[in-house]
Copies of this chain bind each other. A is one copy, B any other.
Amino acid sequence: MKREIISKLQRIVGKNQLTTTPEELLCYSYDGTGREYPPDAVAFPADTAEISAIMRLANAAPFPVVPRGAGSGMTGGSLPVAGGLVLALSRLNRILEIDEKNQLAVVEPGVITGHLRDAVKCRGLFYPPDPASLKFCTMGGNVAECAGGPSAVKYGVTRDYVLGLEVVLPDGTVIRTGVRTAKGVVGYDLTRLFTGSEGTLGIITKITVRLIPYPAARKSFLVQCRDIRQATSLVTEILAAHRPCTLEYLDRTALHIVRDRLPFALAPDSQALLLLEVDGDAGAVAIQAAALHEFLAEKELPAIMRAESAAETEALWAARRAVSPAAFTLKPHKVSEDVVVPRSRIPELVLFVEELAARHGLTIFTFGHAGDGNIHVNIMLDKSNPQEAAGAETAAGALFKEVIRLGGTLSGEHGIGITKACFLPLELDPASLAVMQGIKKFFDPNNILNPGKIFPGPGCPKNN
């Protein structure tokens, strides 16, 4: 990046809010994928006006600009793969408004999702999206990737809560999209077009989200199943009559990994787990939980555990939480793939993964959001072992093909970023892909905003 550009950037954000020192660049070069691409500079703008000025400069120069929240993304969305400027949005971290009467909040993109959830909870309100990273990920990143979480099975994903946005376009123009009312159908839905666009169409500088009443009560069950088929068929039956707010599963391999680390004993014939929760008003939850318990008790299950206190609920969640730490005792690296299949086809996918693991001599376990078929497939490996590294790559490719064959989709909540860009043509027909590329070109003709993301590049193999 030219000296002259650096000077101009310094004039926009102030000398102290721009860095080019290698140590600091390093801190903004990686994300949840573990991959590293150092930028040429990192700017810490104070507000929308500074971001707009930066984009005008970048578009004229031109140089790449990569917006960044907490860097917790799992597919490389915030990585400066083409160098250029990282736009760190950490100073735009204010909750601007919580409107209790109309049940909405307006936040800046750097607000940590968990902070928003806590702030509105104090007013009896609930912001449901709950990505696993909610204690450190940011609202801007959540909107950019359309983050989900366990509660999506009942409450939906980020897209379902974003009412409106303020966005700086690649040429520096500032637009406002959407509404601050419960409904609105005026013109094209730019709000949802930006949501999930992975920072490639504009930089989100304000977010208006809708809120709902905080559910006062919650009851949790841990259901030990004989196998994944029994677990999945329970999921289908449960969802036909109940509206759980959590419906997570662990497969046989995951269970094997954590079996000795749990604060409770598993039944010997337990080969799959379901973690099941209902929430709402205290009275209604008691009725729902009783109905669920009755339903479960009629099934031939190895065990049903019901949490009666917060501590007991924590113990049940321990199974899910123990998986990742335990897995790293097997191998030093984990490749985690977020895929979705129609939930009735979960058993087929899990069996496919077991065969895949055997074929490549790898440990692969799955867990995730059984209620919406959103499965996290985790491949354990030692990256310094070329055979394992190659096997993991081949296995991931085979997994994606199987997901599409089962009527699924390549990502439920992590996005495409760089890690899945080459596989996009597996899912999207060429005409859809051309439409998306046309939209990118319309918004960003000079391809300066987060280049190299989503779309397959020249480096992709010809036949995925």
Contact = CB atoms under 8 A, between A and B. Distances in A.
Contacts of A284: 280, 283-284, 287-288
A176 B429 contact: yes
Interface in A251-294: 280-281, 283-284, 287-288, 291
Interface string A89-124: 000000000011111000000000000000000001
A128 interface: no
Interface in A127-170: 145-146, 148, 152-153, 156-157, 159-160, 169
B436 A439 contact: no
A411 B186 contact: yes
Given A186-B416, A281-B288, A436-B187, A342 B181 contact: yes
A52 to B, nearest CB: 11
Contact of A412 (B148, B184, B241, B371): B184
A300 to B, nearest CB: 21
A295 to B, nearest CB: 12
Contact of A193 (B124, B188, B429): B188
A340 B281 CA distance: 29
A187 B432 contact: yes
B371 A186 contact: no
A411 B152 contact: no
Interface in A219-243: 236, 239-243
A281 B157 CA distance: 24
Contacts of A173: 431
A432 B189 CA distance: 11
Interface stretch (A79-87, A378-386, A402-410): A402-410
Given A101-B343, A193-B192, A241-B213, A416 B181 contact: no
B239 A213 contact: yes
A358 interface: no
Contacts of A369: 183
A156 B155 CA distance: 11
A185 to B, nearest CB: 4
Contact of A148 (B180, B183, B443): B183
Given A183-B152, A186-B410, A193-B192, A175 B340 contact: no
Contacts of A189: 146, 159, 192-193, 195-197
Contacts of A336: none
B188 A102 contact: no
A190 interface: yes
Given A175-B435, A185-B412, A185-B415, 13 more contacts: A101-B343, A103-B239, A157-B185, A169-B435, A176-B429, A179-B408, A179-B409, A182-B374, A183-B369, A184-B411, A186-B416, A213-B241, A284-B284
